[in-house]
Structure 1
Amino acid sequence: MTREFQVQGVRVSELARRYGTPLFVYDGTVLRDRFHGLRDRLHPAMEIFYSLKANPNISICALLHSFGARAEVSSLVELTTALRAGVPPQQVIFLGPGKSRQELAACLDTGIYAVVCESIPEVALVDELARERGVKAPVALRVNPRFAVKRSGLAMGGRPRQFGIDEEELFGQTDLVKRFPDVDLMGVQVYMGTRILHETVIVENTTRILDLAERLSDALSIELRMVDVGGGLGVSYFDGESDLDAQVLTDGLNPVIEDFTARHPGTRMIMELGRYLTAEAGTYVMGVRYTKTSMGERFAVADGGTHHHMAAVGIGSFVKRNFPMAVLNRLDEPATEEWNVTGPLCTPGDTIGKKVPLPPVRPGDLIGVHRSGAYGPTASPGLFLGHGYPAEVLVHEGRCHLVRERDRPDDLLQRQRLYDPTAHDAADVPH
Structure 2
Amino acid sequence: MNKDMVLEVVKKYGTPVYIYDGNIIMDKFKTIRNSLPDYIDIYYSLKANPNISITRLLSELGAKAEVCSLTELITALRAGVENKNIIFLGPGKSIGEIKESIEHDIFAIVCESLEEIEIVDKISNYKNKITNILIRVNPSFTVKGTKLTMGGKPRQFGIDEEIILNNRTLFRNFKNINILGFHAYMGTRILSESTICENTRKILDLSKRLSEQLDIDLKVVDIGGGLGVPYFDKEKSLDIYFLGQEMTKILEQFHLEYPNVQLIMELGRFLVAESGMLVSEILYKKKSMGKNFLVTNAGTNVHMAAAGLGSFIKRNFPITSIKLDDSKKIEKEVYNITGPLCTPNDTVGIDVELPILDVKDLIVILNSGAYGPTASPTNFLGHGFPAEVLVIGENMYLIREKDTPEDLISKQRLVNFNLKYTITE
TM over 0.5: yes
Q: Is the 8 A contact 1:173 1:220 kept in 2?
A: no
- Which residue of the partner structure matches residue 287 of structure 1? 281
Cα distance in 2, alignment partners of residues 207 and 412 from structure 1: 48
1:192 to 180, 186, 190: 186
Please tell me whether residue 117 in structure 1 is matched to residue 111 in structure 2.
yes
Cα distance in 2, alignment partners of residues 63 and 180 from structure 1: 38
Q: Is the 8 A contact 1:335 1:357 kept in 2?
A: no
Q: CA deviation at 1:357?
A: 1.1
Please tell me whether residue 42 in structure 1 is matched to residue 33 in structure 2.
no
- Which residue of the partner structure matches residue 336 of structure 2? 340
Q: CA deviation at 1:423?
A: 8.7
1:77 to 71, 74, 79: 71
- Which residue of the partner structure matches residue 376 of structure 1? 372
Mark the runs of 5 or more structure 2 residues left unpaired by the alignment.
Answer: 421-425
Q: CA deviation at 1:200?
A: 0.4
**Overall identity of the aligned pairs, in %:** 49
SS in 1 for 2:390: strand
TM-score using structure 2 length: 0.96
Q: CA deviation at 1:119?
A: 0.2
SS in 2 for 1:393: strand
Cα distance in 2, alignment partners of residues 116 and 175 from structure 1: 20
Cα distance in 1, alignment partners of residues 82 and 323 from structure 2: 42
Cα distance in 2, alignment partners of residues 82 and 329 from structure 1: 39
Aligned residues: 418
Give the stretch that moved more between structures: 169-178 or 284-293: 169-178
Counterpart code for 1:388 = G
Counterpart code for 1:341 = I
SS in 2 for 1:40: helix
Cα distance in 1, alignment partners of residues 409 and 394 from structure 2: 36
Cα distance in 2, alignment partners of residues 147 and 316 from structure 1: 25
Distance change in 2, residues 1:274/1:334 (3 Å)? farther
- Which residue of the partner structure matches residue 383 of structure 2? 387
Cα distance in 2, alignment partners of residues 163 and 327 from structure 1: 40
Coordinate RMSD, CA, aligned: 1.5
- Which residue of the partner structure matches residue 410 of structure 2? 414
Q: CA deviation at 1:224?
A: 1.0
- Which residue of the partner structure matches residue 356 of structure 2? 360
Counterpart code for 1:212 = L
Q: Is the 8 A contact 2:378 2:385 kept in 1?
A: yes
2:172 to 169, 172, 178: 178
Q: CA deviation at 1:247?
A: 0.6
Q: Is the 8 A contact 1:176 1:220 kept in 2?
A: no
Cα distance in 2, alignment partners of residues 98 and 116 from structure 1: 11
Cα distance in 1, alignment partners of residues 171 and 286 from structure 2: 67
Cα distance in 2, alignment partners of residues 314 and 387 from structure 1: 19
Q: Is the 8 A contact 1:391 1:404 kept in 2?
A: yes
Please tell me whether residue 232 in structure 1 is matched to residue 226 in structure 2.
yes
Q: Is the 8 A contact 1:334 1:358 kept in 2?
A: no
Q: CA deviation at 1:335?
A: 6.7
TM-score using structure 1 length: 0.95
Cα distance in 2, alignment partners of residues 92 and 328 from structure 1: 41
- Which residue of the partner structure matches residue 5 of structure 2? 11
Counterpart code for 1:56 = P
Distance change in 2, residues 1:355/1:68 (3 Å)? same
- Which residue of the partner structure matches residue 257 of structure 1? 251
1:223 to 212, 217, 223: 217
1:55 to 38, 41, 49: 49
SS in 2 for 1:107: helix
Distance change in 2, residues 1:80/1:335 (3 Å)? farther
Give the stretch that moved more between structures: 315-324 or 125-134: 315-324
Please tell me whether residue 86 in structure 1 is matched to residue 86 in structure 2.
no
- Which residue of the partner structure matches residue 300 of structure 1? 294
- Which residue of the partner structure matches residue 165 of structure 1? 159
Cα distance in 2, alignment partners of residues 202 and 166 from structure 1: 21
Please tell me whether residue 313 in structure 1 is matched to residue 286 in structure 2.
no
Counterpart code for 1:339 = Y
Counterpart code for 2:186 = M
Counterpart code for 1:348 = P
Please tell me whether residue 269 in structure 1 is matched to residue 252 in structure 2.
no
SS in 2 for 1:291: strand
Q: CA deviation at 1:324?
A: 0.3
SS in 2 for 1:214: helix
Please tell me whether residue 152 in structure 1 is matched to residue 141 in structure 2.
no
- Which residue of the partner structure matches residue 400 of structure 1? 396
Cα distance in 2, alignment partners of residues 404 and 335 from structure 1: 36
Cα distance in 2, alignment partners of residues 362 and 128 from structure 1: 63
- Which residue of the partner structure matches residue 66 of structure 1? 60
- Which residue of the partner structure matches residue 245 of structure 1? 239
Q: Is the 8 A contact 1:12 1:329 kept in 2?
A: no
Distance change in 2, residues 1:36/1:334 (3 Å)? farther
SS in 1 for 2:224: coil
Q: Is the 8 A contact 2:323 2:357 kept in 1?
A: no
Q: Is the 8 A contact 2:299 2:307 kept in 1?
A: no
Cα distance in 2, alignment partners of residues 250 and 41 from structure 1: 5
Q: CA deviation at 1:11?
A: 2.2
Q: In the TM superposition, what whole-angstrom CA distance separates every residue of 1:337-387 from its partner, at most 9, and x where no partner exists? A: 210111111111111111111111110101100000000011100000111
SS in 1 for 2:370: coil
SS in 2 for 1:299: strand
Q: In the TM superposition, what whole-angstrom CA distance separates every residue of 1:130-177 from its partner, at most 9, and x where no partner exists? A: 000111110100000011121111000010000000011111221133
Q: CA deviation at 1:328?
A: 2.7
SS in 2 for 1:25: strand
Counterpart code for 2:350 = K
Give the stretch that moved more between structures: 145-154 or 326-335: 326-335
Cα distance in 2, alignment partners of residues 247 and 363 from structure 1: 44
Cα distance in 1, alignment partners of residues 88 and 183 from structure 2: 11
Cα distance in 2, alignment partners of residues 217 and 184 from structure 1: 13
SS in 2 for 1:215: helix
- Which residue of the partner structure matches residue 429 of structure 1? none
